[in-house]
Structure formats: structure tokens, C-alpha cells
């Protein structure tokens, strides 16, 4: 059984009452607050304890703070990546919530009129990520090689991943990982990240020598570093 209840501090809570559950669970996500519990535990569950309310409110705050670091899509969103532009178009004729058409550096995402964008953020992000990955696999390894040759660095390998918390990384064996979401950045910041990882092939930490090496290539290192911290991912 599914029920929606309202809490004065938390707001809407979706309550699932099901037999066969091993225990009561509390879930806080971008889609809201959900409680799953057994029929016999409903009576003792409410009112929620102050500790539980504070935990839920804290979790909601973390999610809201995290949202600011990520792009939120709606039907009017126009997203310009490094290699293509994403636009949304209403389409009554498609059979699924979203379909994508990629042509002439335009990724057109068609959507049904009744689609609730707030509940389909992950679907949209997966569509865009698919095309970002294709572009990243074509562009980033070659660009990394070009920069390595230009500035005299050597690395062993490069792999493209879907990391959202790190733009890139470099191992002690000089294996470099790059996030496909680099393709959301302007070229200057892409190069900044690539050179950053190349510098780690010589200096593994972010100490004085590392910063001197970075500044020898990017005299405006501090400015670019600040810009990078303000960039959002999907």
C-alpha cells in the first residue's frame, strides 16, 4: 500500500506499507522522502522521533547543496557542450518518454508533452552522457597525446570513465583516467585538466613543485583553478 502523508517540518513523505520486509527503511533522494515499513510497525513509527526528523532534514539539505553542482534540465534548457548543443523538443508522435536525434552537432531530445522532467533527470542525463562519451573517446586521448608531446610529458595509458567527482586522475604508473564530463567544459579548461594530470606523471602530489610546473604552462593557474571549481557536471 502506498500513501502520501505530510509532515510539518519535512513536507511530503511517501509511505509504503508492505508485508515481507525485513525492517523499516528511510530513503531520502532527489525524488523525495520515502519510508518502507511493515503493517505492524506503522502505529509505532509515527510521530517520527526528533532524531529521525533531524536526520531526514540533514539529508535533504545535502541533496539540495549537491544539486547546485549539477545541471537540472527542463523543456527550455539549452546546453552547449564542447562539441555539440543539446536542445529539447516536444513531440506527440514518439512512443517513449524521450528519443534522441544527433545531427550536425545538435543533440535534439524529443519528449512527450505529459513527461514530468523533475522525475526524469537521470534518464536525460544518461542520454546526454552516451553522446558525451562518444565525443570524449574521440577527442580526449588524442588531445592528451598532443599536449604531452608539446610539453615533454610521457604517460602509459589513458582511459575514459564516467566519474562525476573528479575530472581526472593519474596513478603512480602514469596511467591517466579522464572523465567523459570534461566534454562539458570549454577547451581552455579541458587543456588545464589534461595538463594537470600530465604534471602528476612527474609530481604526484599538489605541493610546491607541482604548482610551479603547472604555472610554467599556465601562468594564470590560480584563475583557471577557480573557474574549474565553479563548473557543473550532469
Using N-to-C axis directions, what is the helix angle for 221-229 and 187-199, rounded to 10°? Answer: 110
Q: Phi/psi of residue 14, each to 5°?
A: -95, 120
Phi, psi for 134 (deg, rounded to 5): -60, -45
> Are the C-beta atoms of residues 231 and 69 closer than 8 Å to each other?
no
Residue carrying the nine cell digits 550532469: 234
Chain region(s) in the chain for CATH 3.30.2010.10:
132-229
**CATH for the stretch 132-229:** 3.30.2010.10
Beta strands in 9-164 (DSSP E): 11-17, 25-29, 32-37, 79-80, 85-90, 98-103, 106-111, 157-161
The pLDDT profile of the chain, 234 residues, written as one tens digit per residue, is: 899 989 999 999 999 999 989 899 999 987 889 999 999 898 888 899 999 999 999 998 887 776 666 788 999 999 999 999 999 999 999 999 999 999 999 999 999 999 999 899 999 999 999 999 999 999 999 999 999 999 999 999 999 999 998 999 999 999 999 999 999 999 999 999 999 999 999 999 999 999 999 999 999 999 999 999 989 888
Does the pTM surpass 0.75? The reply is: no
Distance CA 113, CA 170 (A): 45
CA–CA distance, 77 with 9 (Å, rounded to integer):
32
pLDDT value at position 29?
Answer: 87
Amino acid at each position: 500500500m502506498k500513501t502520501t502523508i505530510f509532515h510539518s517540518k519535512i513536507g511530503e513523505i511517501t509511505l509504503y506499507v508492505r508485508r515481507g520486509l525485513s525492517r523499516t527503511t528511510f530513503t531520502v533522494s532527489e525524488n523525495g522522502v520515502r519510508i518502507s515499513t511493515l503493517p505492524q510497525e506503522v502505529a509505532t513509527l509515527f510521530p517520527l522521533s526528533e532524531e529521525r526528523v533531524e536526520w531526514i532534514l540533514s539529508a535533504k539539505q545535502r541533496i539540495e547543496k549537491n544539486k547546485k553542482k549539477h545541471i537540472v534540465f527542463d523543456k527550455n534548457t539549452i546546453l552547449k557542450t564542447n562539441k555539440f548543443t543539446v536542445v529539447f523538443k516536444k513531440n506527440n508522435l514518439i512512443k517513449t518518454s524521450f528519443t534522441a536525434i544527433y545531427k550536425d552537432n545538435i543533440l535534439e531530445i524529443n519528449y512527450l508533452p505529459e513527461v514530468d522532467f523533475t522525475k526524469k533527470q537521470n534518464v536525460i542525463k544518461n542520454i546526454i552522457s552516451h553522446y558525451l562519451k562518444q565525443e570524449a573517446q574521440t577527442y580526449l586521448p588524442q588531445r592528451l597525446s598532443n599536449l604531452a608531446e608539446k610539453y615533454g610529458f610521457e604517460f602509459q595509458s589513458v582511459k575514459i570513465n564516467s566519474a562525476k567527482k573528479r575530472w581526472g586522475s593519474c596513478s603512480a604508473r602514469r596511467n591517466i583516467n579522464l572523465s567523459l564530463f570534461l566534454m562539458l567544459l570549454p577547451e581552455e579548461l579541458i587543456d588545464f585538466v589534461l595538463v594537470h594530470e600530465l604534471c602528476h606523471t612527474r609530481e604526484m602530489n599538489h605541493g610546491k613543485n607541482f604548482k610551479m610546473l603547472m604555472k610554467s604552462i599556465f601562468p594564470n593557474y590560480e584563475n583557471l583553478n577557480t573557474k574549474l571549481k565553479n563548473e557543473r557536471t550532469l
